[in-house]
Amino acid sequence: MALVLHAGKTNKNGYKALIAAEYTGVKVELAPNFEMGVSNKTPEYLKLNPIGKVPLLVTPDGPIFESNAIARYVARLKADNPLYGSSLIDYAHIEQWIDFGTMEIDANISKWYYPRLGYGVYLPPAEEAAISALKRALGALNTHIASNTYLVGHSVTLADIVVVCNLYVGFTNVMTKSFTSEFPHVERYFWTLVNQPNFKKVLGDVKQAVSVQPVVSAKKPAQPAKGKAKEEPKKEAKKEPAKPKAEAAEEVEEAPKPKPKNPLDLLPPSKMVLDDWKRLYSNTKSNFREVAIKGFWDMYDPEGYSLWFCEYKYNDENTVSFVTLNKVGGFLQRMDLARKYAFGKMLVIGSEAPFKVKGLWLFRGQEIPKFVMDECYDMELYSWTKVDISDENQKERVNQMIEDQEPFEGEALLDAKCFK
């Protein structure tokens, strides 16, 4: 009896078993004419999986559900399968990354993507939390694979298969290039794996999303009812009072979207367009002082924006270079909530430990935004000083930090990171 996988042809959870089968040399057939929402609701299917989940693998020894369990089963059909590593510690690390891929990557991509399709209630704060958690996970993954081609060992394992299949939904639907560019090692890892022959046979040609999946409007299904209401508006209102209530509830849910939620959006308009400055900074490749720095001061609006120096309070603890760099990188990731209102430069200074961390930040308004102080715990780890632009020495220090001038204050730069 052949192994039969009940899943749609584009089900990323089904891909896990199919890719594992390619590496293992096991034949797994897709159930013919499988239709999600129909085939998995039949009495025959529910006998095999009482809750109707997909995918489901039918084996000579009985059915298996849950995609990771199915992939594990397929991998173990081959004795000493390298998909499970070559030692006990390899096995443990593979299981570790499978859990990580499920709990930290798949779960947060799902919370971002599926509500936009209408599967569940779309709530912007919940989406923001999911994206923030996803970025934290991708940051951890990016750090790990900075010096590793694969998650465990020197060849593809089941961990890679599961994590890449989880990333697949994000890369193809919501994680655009501008989003993933923060995680270059994750990009390299994903594109390397999806172009491996055994992956490509199952996934085909993978293309990255060029835009985030738009939110499906919850009002569309109610439109036909509104058409009927035009014929007899008074009768409709009397006979079916629940409908106007339902529509009103929908309007209440959607009403906050056009309203500025952030106090910074209520400030008087500024002549400085932050995106124009970020674009100038990014596109200036030569004559930086003459072009970018001059352009910054021409654009700068001291009434609408403020500049701040920051310095890490515990520089004596920065004794390991890569740990210090990761610390700064994590801070910048957690500052993503302020991207619309801020620009920053963070310098890691020194040729030997302890390394100093200093920064320059441009914020909308005259104070550091309260929501940033409240929600980004790193802020309290730094001392903050407002820049006095009437002081030429402070103004020159701003120039040097934007420019990544080296040496900076008499010391070499280990690294310079930009938040834009």
What is the average per-residue pLDDT within 131-159?
95
Domain architecture of the chain: domains with CATH: 3-203 (1.20.1050.10), 268-419 (3.30.70.1010)
pLDDT digits (tens, 9 = 90+) for 72-85: 999 999 988 999 99
Instruction: Report the alpha-carbon distance of residue 413 to residue 405 in Å, rounded.
Output: 8
Residues 387 and 398 sit within 8 Å (Cβ to Cβ): yes
Other beta carbons within 10 angstroms of residue 43's beta carbon come to 6
Scanning the structure block, which residue is given the tokens 């309260």?
370
Q: What DSSP element (H or E) covers 235? A: helix 233-239
Instruction: Report the alpha-carbon distance of residue 98 to residue 405 in Å, rounded.
Output: 43
Q: Which of 16-20, 183-187, 240-244, 363-367 has the lowest mean pLDDT?
A: 240-244
Secondary structure (DSSP) of 315-372: GGG--SHHHHHHHHHHHHHHGGGGGGGEEEEEEEE-SSSSPEEEEEEEEESSS--HHH
At residue 360, does pLDDT exceed 60?
yes
Least Cα distance to 131 among 172, 180, 165, 168 occurs for: 180
Angle between helices 184-194 and 158-173 (to 10 degrees): 110
Instruction: Report the alpha-carbon distance of residue 17 to residue 63 in Å, rounded.
Output: 14
pLDDT of residue 107: 95
Largest distance between two CA atoms of the chain = 82
Q: How remote is the C-alpha of 186 from its chain's centroid?
A: 11
Angle at 187 between CA 181 and CA 192, to 5 degrees: 155
pLDDT digits (tens, 9 = 90+) for 186-196: 999 999 999 99
Instruction: Report the alpha-carbon distance of residue 418 to residue 420 in Å, rounded.
Output: 6
At residue 218, does pLDDT exceed 70?
no
Q: How many CA atoms lie within 13 A of 380 on its CB side?
A: 6
Residues 349 and 417 sit within 8 Å (Cβ to Cβ): no
404 torsion bin: left (phi>0), alpha (psi -120 to 50), beta (else): left
Question: Distances from the Cα of 82 to the Cαs of 67, 126, 154, in angstroms?
Answer: 20, 39, 10
Give exposure, 173-193, as e/b (b: 16+ Cβ within 10 Å).
bbbeeebbebbebbbebbeeb
At residue 175, does pLDDT exceed 90?
yes
Residue predicted with more confidence, 233 or 106: 106
| Cis bond before residue 354 (omega within 30° of 0) | yes
DSSP 3-state of 414: strand
pLDDT digits (tens, 9 = 90+) for 370-406: 989 888 888 989 999 999 999 999 999 999 999 999 9
Least Cα distance to 319 among 347, 355, 357 occurs for: 355
What residues pair up with 28 in beta bridges, in sequence order?
3
End-to-end CA distance of the chain: 57
DSSP 3-state of 284: coil
pTM over 0.85: no
Alpha helices by DSSP H, 3-66: 12-24, 43-48
pLDDT digits (tens, 9 = 90+) for 35-74: 888 999 999 999 998 889 899 999 999 999 999 999 999 9
